[in-house]
């Protein structure tokens, strides 16, 4: 609950409204029985009203897989959740091979698992490739965030310069900047001093 709630609340930043929130799904894979007396290995939870079972929101969803409750044998029509749970819990090569034959996504995951389980050199190559992908994604994220920051500062600058042209007092401009851009007084003062000084040059 803590990590899912944290993931949900960290989506929003100063100046944004609640429309930014996206659905967050928590998946707990447990090597112990959480719900005593229940035989089902998989549970899914939502926030619902106790009596009428009315859904409060679909923005938070909890999935729990209890590995000790997995059935010993698989049926021909076993669903994907059971297949993945068996894959996570597998220990023998025969089990991995059998599950890989049943699902192409599990087959791909098994191939990656085999790569990182081989010799040290191959594992380092795999990790280097994964790191390169992560570094690229981080670089793109920082570039996007830099663009958003530049856009925000341009908006603040225009707001302050318009206020100065309209002969508004410093206090009035600061109040408007704080309110419209969700800034602290300290940050609003920083931008006011920066852009008002640039106007006088």
Identify the band that residue 107 occupies on the pLDDT scale cut at 50, 70 and 90: very high
Q: Which residues contact 107 (CB under 8 A, 6 or more apart)?
A: 100, 101
201 vs 149, higher pLDDT: 149
Summarised one tens digit per residue, pLDDT across range 175-197 is 888 887 777 888 888 888 888 87
CA dist., res. 89 & res. 128, Å (int): 27
State the average pLDDT over residues 62-91. Answer: 91
Q: Which sequence spans correspond to the domains of the chain?
A: 1-69, 147-200
Write down the pLDDT at residue 8. Answer: 92
Q: Is the pLDDT of residue 165 over 80?
A: yes
Tens digits of per-residue pLDDT, 126-149?
A: 777 778 778 777 776 666 666 666
Which structure tokens are listed for 3? 């990590």
Q: Which residue has the higher pLDDT, 7 or 176?
A: 7
pTM exceeds cut of 0.95: no
Please write the tens of the pLDDT for every residue from 20-55. 899 999 999 999 999 998 999 999 999 999 999 999
DSSP H or E run through 97: helix 93-102
What pLDDT is recorded for position 26? 94
Convert 77-94 to b/e letters by CB count within 10 Å (16 or more is b): ebeeebbbbbbeebeeee
């Amino acid at each position: 609950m803590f990590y899912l709630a944290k993931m949900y609340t960290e989506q929003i930043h100063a100046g944004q409204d609640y429309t930014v929130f996206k659905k967050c799904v928590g998946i707990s894979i447990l090597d112990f029985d959480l719900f005593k007396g229940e035989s089902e290995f998989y549970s899914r939870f939502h926030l619902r009203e106790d009596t009428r079972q009315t859904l409060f929101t679909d923005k938070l969803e909890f999935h729990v897989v209890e590995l000790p409750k997995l059935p010993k044998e698989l049926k021909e029509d076993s669903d994907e959740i059971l297949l993945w749970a068996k894959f996570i819990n597998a220990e023998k090569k025969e089990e991995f091979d059998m599950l890989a034959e049943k699902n192409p996504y599990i087959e791909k995951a098994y191939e990656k698992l085999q790569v990182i389980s081989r010799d040290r050199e191959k594992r380092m190559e795999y990790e280097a490739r994964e790191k390169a992908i992560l570094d690229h994604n981080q670089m793109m994220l920082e570039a996007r965030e830099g663009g958003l920051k530049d856009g925000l500062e341009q908006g603040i600058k225009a707001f302050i310069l318009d206020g100065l042209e309209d002969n508004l007092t410093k206090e009035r401009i600061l109040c408007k900047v704080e309110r419209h851009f969700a800034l602290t007084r300290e940050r609003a003062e920083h931008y006011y001093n920066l852009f008002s000084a640039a106007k006088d040059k």
